[in-house]
Structure 1
Amino acid sequence: MEENKTKKLTLFALTWPIFIEVLLHMLMGNADTLMLSQYSDDSVAAVGVANQILQMLIVMFGFIATGTTILVAQYLGAKDRHSASEVTVISIVANLIFSLGISIFIYFTSSKMLLMMNLPPELLSEADFYLKLVGVFSFVQALIMTIGATIRSYGFTKDTMYVTIGMNILNVIGNYLFIFGPFGIPVLGVDGVAISTVVSRSLGLLVMVYLLFRRIEEPLPFRKVFSLPFSHLKNLLKIGVPSAGEHIAWNGAQMVITYFIVMLGTEALTTRVYAQNLIMFIMLFAIAIGQGTQILIGHQIGAKQIELAYKRCMKSLRLGIVLAFSAAIVFYLLSDSLLSLFTNNPDVIAVGGTLLLLSVLLEPGRAFNLVVINSLRATGDVKFPVYMAILSMWGLQLPIAYILGIHFELGLVGIFIAFIFDEWFRGIIMLIRWRSRVWVKYSFVNEVEEKENKQVANVM
């Protein structure tokens, strides 16, 4: 039975549900933006800044979910389902404890963080309520991420897709009720969007928990969580902390970029939100291919199929670049129509169209990073991408963004040119790293086997 399940893990079978799931996550964010744009452009800007902070903080517990995906996939590839179930339990409990701490932190510091972002005073009240409410319930998102990572690593990518569909439907219904106020329901604007987000995620979590126990045949030892091998948590952290470091470097850089854009004015901030919402759809192909490739390579590394893993990354990379470039062209050609869905401001539409033109250069470079970095993580080679992320984002992207965007007054165009430099520089370096095959020595399953072999040798 295990053998059959492993054979069913193809890139297409894993990737298309991930594609739909990520698409729906993006649609959830776009639904918030599109509906709020009918209410107020200022509300769009307020939620945009609040979400930038939330993304930065959510990364703090996303690192355990990343470690879960890789470790569970490697153990399943090695046919060690018992260790996979132990890792699942430890990751869920650890992330719950950690994310509760993050939730409390957000509640008590939300207004201070928004002020640090130099948010205009007229946007502060709405942004603060949104950040407080969604932030306090961020532990729900942490559990969804961790449980979803486990379910996907077992190959059940359709399950998490269906849950995301349900959450999207509930979120859109909630947004409609609270933004447009049918049937005499009070119009709550940003407050209503926050309530809708929290409720839809909470119901999604309940379904995720049900699926977790239904799909995993091996008993999940929650009652023995504190007596499980410490090595599992250690390996989760060895993978997750460096992976989080890369995301923190990216989100931290994005917060500084947002600060630069605030300096350009509310219109620039709104334009960036609209353009970014559309660019996320272009990124979708590379994101889904990267995540599907990560699961496949994790299984292959666990099974010690090194050559298959190497070829899988290279094939996925070629596919990701072609799809990203093609999608960017299509979105640029349709830019006026797409941006008109959000706003009728001609200046916003004009600048947004230029940003979508620049995405034709940006997104193929980003595909390098989304595919190859996920592949490196799947092997256990997690530190190198972090070092390069810090060097490139903070040493290259931010200085160029400030010089071109602020000093030479190119605005958002200058900032997007900085993104292009960063993505292509890192992407080429990551490809060189993959082709070097230095990642072969980083598998955690291989580490465990080597230690066991040494112990047996010492006993003999």
Structure 2
Amino acid sequence: MRYWLQKYREDYSATIKIGIPIVLGQLGIVIVGLVDNIMVGHFSTSDLAAASFVNSVFNIPILFGMGFSYGLTPLVGQFFGRGDKFRVGGLLRNSLLANFMIGLFLSVAMGIMYLNVDRMGQPEELLPLIRPYFLLQLTSLVFVMMFNSFKQFADGITDTKTSMWIMLSANLLNIIGNSLLIYGVWGLPALGLTGAGISTLASRIFMFVAFAIIFFRKQSYRRYLVGYHRTTYNTGDLKVLNRMGMMVGLQMGMETALFSISGIMIGWLGTVPLAAHQVVASISTLGFMVYYGVGAAVSIRVSNFFGRGDITGVRRATLAGTHLLAVLAISVSVFFLLVREHIGWLYTSSEDVANLVAVLMIILVFYQFGDSLQIIFANALRGVADVTSMAVISFIGYFVIALPVSYICGFVLDWGIEGIWIGYPVGLTLTGGMMCWRFYHFLRQKDI
């Protein structure tokens, strides 16, 4: 241990310095999501089950959109590593246009799904709860995409604190809105799940508007405004952003689709399994977002080193991130085991739901290693812009392996929701292993 601390001390320090604001910002979102589910769950089990379905469905476009915007980070990181601030500003301008168009496309796609929501096999009694919440989530998609452009630009230049403060402020706004609208206070009606949706929409609008104001007024960003104002929208930048963004978006979208499609399958089992799935899925994002903060920091550092042609720096940054994530995965797993018997009661008063949550938490622990492994090497591949292979590996791991395993164990073997969840550790671990092999194969080619 002392050897690793001495050899990688500077790398650990740099990764933590960049990653902590990302982790805090992402944890803020997770905590708000947990609070949403706790407050909605105590309002009614039906509202919690409806939230599970809508969130499962919207995780696909939101994570795809987030992944699409991540294509900007390694490009900005590489030009930032070379000191080319003009190109960084120009990339941001074109990224805003690309993300806006993707936001519109996703909104239309989800609008079509909304028109067919009654055909998706969900319990009939949940549809009046699902529809208004669905529309509120749909309205927020464009604002999420526009905010992501600013966030990934800031991350690429290693300014992760600005995004953190904006996200934490938005989360506070969301919590206040939930308190007012879910149960109804100060004479306001008790809107339940719809109130949570209104609060989420308001917080997402706030994030975009706040970052836009900061970008045009913050002193440290003025060096990038020259490139932003003087660069025109051009097919060259848009092609690069779309190629990078589509591959990263597909990778993240496919991972999310694994959980979302399995969430729809769990809806076939009834309201109690669906509610339990929502509880454990929301808890699982706690580990994911912590891992993601470190993974994003690795991607930023890798892209900076790769832009300078420093392959040794790329290797060190990735190894340091792997060590940090291993420690985090062990810590998160211990925490999950300690709280598994009690965590369900925070969300619901239903004994059936709470007991099922305790069972699923054991499976959740088993996929922490695979989750952290695929996050670190997906971000490392993103940092060196090897995004096509990353997307292909994700397709194999999630759709060819994990999803069939979930269906077979859940329905063919009749293991129910526990069987569906078994597909997660299998798919994530194999995906992480394949990405690890590809990353080091890519670096060996660069060393030649």
Q: Same fold (TM over 0.5)?
A: yes
Q: What is the CA distance between 1:435 and its match in structure 2? A: 2.3
Tell me the amino acid that sits aligned with residue 43 of structure 1.
Answer: D
Aligned to 1:219: 225
Please show how residues 60-459 of structure 1 align to structure 2 within 5 Å.
60-107=64-111, 109-112=113-116, 114-213=117-216, 214=218, 215-216=220-221, 217-220=223-226, 227-438=232-443
CA distance in 1, matches of 2:62, 2:119: 18
Q: Is the 8 A contact 1:324 1:367 kept in 2?
A: yes
Deviation sequence 1:210-247 (CA, Å, 0-9, x none)? 2222242222555555x355322221122111112212
Question: 2:55 aligned with 1:40, yes or no?
Answer: no
Tell me the amino acid that sits aligned with residue 238 of structure 1.
Answer: R
Q: CA distance change for structure 1 residues 256 and 134 in 2, over 3 Å: closer, same or farther?
A: closer
Q: Is the 8 A contact 2:26 2:290 kept in 1?
A: no
Q: Is the 8 A contact 1:372 1:430 kept in 2?
A: yes
Q: CA distance change for structure 1 residues 275 and 155 in 2, over 3 Å: closer, same or farther?
A: same
Aligned to 2:4: none
Q: What is the CA distance between 1:206 and its match in structure 2? A: 1.4
* Structure 1 range deviating more: 200-209 or 66-75: 200-209
CA distance in 2, matches of 1:417, 1:79: 47
TM-score, normalised with respect to structure 2: 0.92
Q: Is the 8 A contact 1:322 1:364 kept in 2?
A: no
Q: What is the CA distance between 1:415 and its match in structure 2? A: 1.7
CA distance in 1, matches of 2:90, 2:256: 31
CA distance in 2, matches of 1:180, 1:255: 28
Return the match for 1:58 from 54, 58, 62: 62
Q: Is the 8 A contact 1:49 1:258 kept in 2?
A: yes
Q: What is the CA distance between 1:345 and its match in structure 2? A: 2.5
Q: Is the 8 A contact 2:68 2:248 kept in 1?
A: no
Q: Is the 8 A contact 1:306 1:440 kept in 2?
A: no
CA distance in 2, matches of 1:375, 1:275: 28
Q: What is the CA distance between 1:138 and its match in structure 2? A: 1.1
Q: CA distance change for structure 1 residues 126 and 411 in 2, over 3 Å: closer, same or farther?
A: same
CA distance in 1, matches of 2:106, 2:282: 26
Aligned to 2:8: none
Tell me the amino acid that sits aligned with residue 144 of structure 1.
Answer: F
CA distance in 2, matches of 1:52, 1:84: 35
Deviation sequence 1:25-68 (CA, Å, 0-9, x none)? 11121121111011111111112211222221224433441111
Deviation sequence 1:118-167 (CA, Å, 0-9, x none)? 12111112211111122123100111111111112122211111111111
Q: Is the 8 A contact 2:294 2:321 kept in 1?
A: yes
CA distance in 1, matches of 2:348, 2:197: 22
Deviation sequence 1:176-220 (CA, Å, 0-9, x none)? 111121221111112211111111211222111122222422225
SS in 1 for 2:122: coil
The runs of 5 or more residues in structure 1 that have no matched partner are: 1-6, 443-460
CA distance in 1, matches of 2:257, 2:290: 24
Q: Is the 8 A contact 1:73 1:298 kept in 2?
A: yes
Q: What is the CA distance between 1:284 and its match in structure 2? A: 2.9
Deviation sequence 1:56-86 (CA, Å, 0-9, x none)? 1224433441111111011101111111111
Q: CA distance change for structure 1 residues 134 and 259 in 2, over 3 Å: closer, same or farther?
A: closer
Aligned to 1:24: 28
Q: What is the CA distance between 1:266 and its match in structure 2? A: 0.9
Q: CA distance change for structure 1 residues 308 and 221 in 2, over 3 Å: closer, same or farther?
A: closer
CA distance in 2, matches of 1:69, 1:403: 38
The runs of 5 or more residues in structure 2 that have no matched partner are: 1-10
Tell me the amino acid that sits aligned with residue 55 of structure 1.
Answer: N
CA distance in 2, matches of 1:116, 1:371: 38
Q: Is the 8 A contact 1:69 1:295 kept in 2?
A: yes
Higher relative contact order structure (alpha carbons within 8 Å, sequence separation ≥ 6): 2
CA distance in 1, matches of 2:55, 2:130: 9
Q: What is the CA distance between 1:282 and its match in structure 2? A: 2.1
SS in 1 for 2:182: helix
